Amino acid sequence: MSRFCIVAMVALLAAQAALAVDYTFTGTAPGTDLWQTPAVWGSAAYPSSFADTAYLSGAVAQTVRTDNGGPYQVGNITMGSGTGTGAILIGNYAGGVGLELGANTTITKNNNTSTDKIYSKLTLDGNTTFNVTKNYLYAYNIEGDVGSVTKDGAGFLVYEGDVGNTYGGLTWLKAGKIILSGPNGTQFIGNGGLKVSGGILQWWAGNHIADTAPIELAGNCELNPNYTTETMGALTLSGGTAVGWSPVGPLGTSEIHFANSSAATWTPGAMLILKPSWNGTLAANTPKYYFGTDSTGLTAQQLSQIRFADDVNGVAANLQGAAFDPAHPGLLIPAPLVVSTFWSADFNHDHVVDFKDYIVLEGNFSKSNATNAMGDADANTIVDFKDYIVLEGQFGKTSTPEPATIGLLVAGGLALLRRKA
């Protein structure tokens, strides 16, 4: 590459970097300012590109209108970082023309003394992270075919209003709380699906989640339906302890209807705890949980990963197992808890010690730094003949293998020993 090309490229990169501008909103006085008014940003310009960052840190409560000539492009937004104790409102009150956010945008809400609200429409061109560290941030109308939302921070993100959201991607709740607060039937989470790996998802009316939206519970989290009925897609359980929760009270029942989830992945060891108390009847104030429309909605293995908390306060102390109610298709009811023994030679975790586990052991024989899933049955981090002895002693646990299979295992183990020796 010639010196001229190198110099030209450096100049181009410098010019692009110069395009990124930070704007700090100060406002003129309590009231309403227009987004496209440079003076309210203390500048000769206003945020108008995906490279721009807007700091809404005025010392006064202020409404910033974005419906006069918008939508306006903007990158990151920080709200509530100034000394003002009132809410800073972006947009008009009808959810009209608003802001277009570039991919990988972050909206941060910092101030613990104010509740900030975004009334205008937000159009997402990729993933947007709502990092609500304190208090509440309200959002009213989010769209964008390729848009997705990640909620982080200990604060609350509230989807409110009767317009709903139409962004096409995933909603991922990592921490804090997302509250769905609108009239019954207002859809806030679409077919892009929902993933909850921490925090609480709460809603105050029904039918806020698309009926076919796939759901993944991936950590210590809660779903709180508040005496409502909600229908969702299939449930994936991918880690940690997921908690389905509904308060008991005189206001009536709550129901969560999951689609048939028998083909969904449930990670071994992950648990779904349904609470609070179950009084042994289908009383009106008893929360109900459905999977599909009959007893095929979950596999036997998945049922073994579900617990009902049956104590009065809903604390997971007194647990029961789960089964399908023959009289009510798809409904889960408590069942006597059968505590199964985990056999250390069940390397593939299918609850049967069989020839498949021998194949795992043979494939990893002599390896060090080994895990149980690699064939280490005695927890010494080495796959060796001692593990074969453990497997032989546990072979057939939870099932009765055919004699021919046992003969194959013994013959294979002796051949393995001779070959490694």
Point out the least confidently predicted range of 223-227, 339-343, 349-353, 378-382. Answer: 339-343
Share above pLDDT 90 across residues of the chain, in percent, rounded to a whole number: 43
pLDDT at residue 339, as a whole number:
56
Better-scored residue on pLDDT, 263 or 285: 263
- Over the stretch 74-107, which tens digit does the pLDDT of each residue have? 999 988 755 545 567 787 655 467 899 999 999 9
pLDDT at residue 225, as a whole number:
84
Share above pLDDT 70 across residues of the chain, in percent, rounded to a whole number: 76
Better-scored residue on pLDDT, 250 or 390: 390
* Average pLDDT of the segment spanning 288-308: 92
385-394 vs 355-363: helix axis angle to the nearest 10? 170
* Average pLDDT of the segment spanning 165-182: 96
What does R_g of the chain's alpha carbons equal in angstroms?
28
Structural contact between residues 120 and 92, judged by C-beta atoms closer than 8 angstroms: yes
pLDDT at residue 323, as a whole number:
92
- Over the stretch 35-55, which tens digit does the pLDDT of each residue have? 999 998 888 999 999 999 998
355-363 vs 403-420: helix axis angle to the nearest 10? 10
Point out the least confidently predicted range of 15-29, 70-84, 115-129, 145-159. Answer: 15-29
pLDDT at residue 87, as a whole number:
63
CB atoms within 10 A of CB 336: 7
Q: Work out whether the CA dihedral 367, 370, 376, 382 comes out positive or negative.
A: positive
pLDDT band at 20 (very low <50, low <70, confident <90, very high): confident
pLDDT at residue 9, as a whole number:
46
CB atoms within 10 A of CB 375: 27
pLDDT at residue 299, as a whole number:
94
pLDDT at residue 284, as a whole number:
43
Specify the pTM. 0.76
pLDDT at residue 182, as a whole number:
92
* pLDDT at position 293 over 80: yes
pLDDT at residue 190, as a whole number:
97
The residues, any chain, with a CB within 8 Å of residue 125's CB and separated by 6 or more, are 50, 100, 101, 102, 103, 144, 146, 147
For the chain, give the number of residues.
Answer: 421
pLDDT band at 143 (very low <50, low <70, confident <90, very high): very high
Compute CA distances 316 → 216, 235, 310, 337, 377, whole Å: 21, 21, 8, 13, 31
* pLDDT at position 402 over 60: no
Mean per-residue pLDDT of the chain:
80
pLDDT at residue 368, as a whole number:
87
- Over the stretch 321-365, which tens digit does the pLDDT of each residue have? 889 999 999 999 888 776 556 788 888 877 788 899 999 999 999
Strands in 122-124's sheet, in edge-to-edge order, are: 72-74, 99-101, 122-124, 142-143
Structural contact between residues 346 and 361, judged by C-beta atoms closer than 8 angstroms: no
* pLDDT at position 412 over 70: no
pLDDT at residue 308, as a whole number:
81
pLDDT at residue 32, as a whole number:
80
pLDDT band at 178 (very low <50, low <70, confident <90, very high): very high
Q: Which residues pair with 32 in a beta bridge?
A: 63
Better-scored residue on pLDDT, 159 or 224: 159
